[in-house]
Amino acid sequence: MAKGSAKNLRIIILVLLVVVVMVLAKKLAKPPPQKKKEARTEIARTFEAKKKEKKKEEKAPEIPSALEQLLLGVGEAEKVPVKVYKISRTDFQDELPIVGTVKSIPEIDLKFEVNGRIVEFRFKEGERVRKGDLIARLDPKDARLELAWAEAKYNAAIAEAEAVKKRTETIEKLYEAGAIVEARLEEARAEVKAAEERIKVAKAEMDSAKARLEKTNLYALDDGIMGPREMDVGEFVTPNERIGTLFSEENTFIEVGVIEKDIGKVQIGQRVVVNVDTYPRTDFYGIVENIFPNLEARTRTLNVRIRLIERKANLLPGMFARTRIIVYTKKNALVVPSNVLTVEGQRYFVPVVVDNRVSNKEVFLEYVTMDYAVIQRGIEEGDLVVIETPGLKKLKDGTPVEITETQEKLAG
């Protein structure tokens, strides 16, 4: 570029010198009679010398004369160095990254059914439990005393009923012998029935005492993971107080908040890739299971529930989850960087190198992201698309270019 400018400058200076010489020649057109011939000869020699010098400087035959360049204002067009991407078909996938939280439904509240003081916890937060495992115990002293009292009453009722039955058997023999009246026999039989009822009541009380003693133990109702513990050993609890939470692994899911501008991209059934800091090299997979019908008033986001495909994923409720929702996929797609697109109204153009010159081809888009555009038609596999120019300037049709680098793959 610098060499061309210097050459043009020299030509302009040469033309100016020619003009100056011509002006001087006109002024000297009428010399004194005795010097007229000498003046013409001197001017001719000067003009001839300048003409020879001009011919020496003209190296390229295609460059027009200095006067033509001066009048037309044009010189040799220089080629613009560019980098190009050679179009090839590729599998394209667009992902929507959203952060969320691991949750579990249902979250089972752990509560004792009786009053008491906690004497033991068998599991810590985050540990896995199986259905029927003992989680915690209350002090069983009072419950055992009640059971002992109920058992004593039950045994006494049984003993009393046996005694009443024996007396009744004696009365029945006396009645058969005619020693007593029938009313006395009926009275004895009523006492037997009353004794049997007292046995039933005593047994119910004993069973209740046993159940109360059993309720001093808290068992897991399902397989799951222990959540945060809200009470500690030594504290007195009632059936209304929660001592902790059990999360069901079978119902673990991810909940994310989608901002307004991305709501239209998310649909039920889309595939999702999930990562957590605990397992940085492991991908967990899920699907979009549910999209809530309204925005959160505080965050102005739409809650979306992602169900994990692998039920035993070892994810704990409360974990911070990074999700990537697969919102678009296409096999064998023609893809170009979005920044190469030129927009004119509602038409899109892509700069393609044809015979070392730029040709802006109109294209029709199928899908566009911030980084890439999937082309439906307008360019073909093998086309050389300009992806980088000096200063990232847009090139016009016909601009001569020089390819400095050909890229075979798109970054990312």
pLDDT at 77: 62
**Which CATH number belongs to the domain containing residue 85 in this structure?**
2.40.420.20
Domain holding 321, by residue range, is 246-330
pLDDT band at 313 (very low <50, low <70, confident <90, very high): low
Mark which of 184, 219, 254 sits at the end of a domain.
Answer: 219
- pTM score: 0.54
Most confident range (mean pLDDT) of 1-5, 185-189, 233-237, 294-298 is: 233-237
Mean pLDDT of 373-383: 92
- In a shared domain, residues 325 and 342: no
Most confident range (mean pLDDT) of 4-13, 73-82, 140-149, 160-169 is: 140-149
Task: Kindly state whether residue 146 falls inside one of the protein's structural domains.
Answer: yes
Name the strand (E) or helix (H) holding 18.
helix 2-27
Residue appearing with tokens 């993971």: 225
Q: Which of 38, 43, 37 is nearest to 24 (CA)?
A: 43
Q: What is the pLDDT of residues 6-30, one digit of tens each?
A: 566 777 777 777 777 777 766 665 5
pLDDT at 355: 92
- In a shared domain, residues 347 and 326: no
Task: Kindly state whether residue 236 falls inside one of the protein's structural domains.
Answer: no
Mean pLDDT of 200-219: 91
Q: Is the pLDDT of residue 62 over 90?
A: no
- In a shared domain, residues 41 and 141: no
Mean pLDDT of 81-100: 92
More confident residue, 331 or 23: 331
Instruction: Give every strand in the sheet of 128-129, ordered side by side.
Output: 107-110, 244-247, 224-229, 128-129
SS3 254: strand
Residue percentage of the chain with pLDDT more than 90: 39
- In a shared domain, residues 124 and 198: yes
pLDDT band at 275 (very low <50, low <70, confident <90, very high): very high
Q: What is the pLDDT of residues 151-188, one digit of tens each?
A: 999 999 898 888 888 888 888 888 788 778 888 878 88
Q: Is the pLDDT of residue 255 over 60?
A: yes
pLDDT band at 60 (very low <50, low <70, confident <90, very high): very low
Mean pLDDT, all residues of the chain? 82
Task: Kindly state whether residue 140 falls inside one of the protein's structural domains.
Answer: yes
- In a shared domain, residues 322 and 338: no
Mark which of 175, 204, 219 sits at the end of a domain.
Answer: 219
- In a shared domain, residues 213 and 120: yes
SS3 393: coil
| Torsion angle of C-alpha atoms 211, 213, 217, 223, degrees rounded to 10 | -20
Mark which of 314, 330, 346 sits at the end of a domain.
Answer: 330
Number of domains in the chain: 4
pLDDT at 168: 84
- In a shared domain, residues 336 and 299: no
Tokens of 210: 């046993």
The beta-strand segments (E) located in 175-251 are 217-219, 224-229, 236-237, 244-247
pLDDT at 246: 85
Task: Kindly state whether residue 225 falls inside one of the protein's structural domains.
Answer: no
Tokens of 246: 């059990």
Query: Do β-strands 401-407 and 80-86 pair in parallel, antiparallel, or remain unpaired?
Result: parallel
- In a shared domain, residues 342 and 318: no
**Which CATH number belongs to the domain containing residue 289 in this structure?**
2.40.30.170
Q: How many CA atoms lie within 13 A of 3 on its CB side?
A: 4
Task: Kindly state whether residue 105 falls inside one of the protein's structural domains.
Answer: no
Q: Is the pLDDT of residue 74 over 50?
A: no
Which whole-number Å values give the CA distances from 147 to 118, 140, 195, 247, 288, in the listed order?
Answer: 19, 10, 21, 34, 53
pLDDT band at 68 (very low <50, low <70, confident <90, very high): very low
Residue pair 268/289 in contact by the 8 Å Cβ criterion:
yes
More confident residue, 80 or 60: 80
- In a shared domain, residues 123 and 200: yes
Task: Kindly state whether residue 238 falls inside one of the protein's structural domains.
Answer: no
Q: What is the pLDDT of residues 103-123, one digit of tens each?
A: 877 678 889 999 999 999 988
- In a shared domain, residues 340 and 258: no
- In a shared domain, residues 391 and 371: yes
SS3 398: coil
Task: Kindly state whether residue 196 falls inside one of the protein's structural domains.
Answer: yes
Q: Is the pLDDT of residue 32 over 60?
A: no
Residue percentage of the chain with pLDDT more than 70: 83
Task: Kindly state whether residue 268 falls inside one of the protein's structural domains.
Answer: yes
- In a shared domain, residues 185 and 208: yes
Residue pair 348/341 in contact by the 8 Å Cβ criterion:
yes
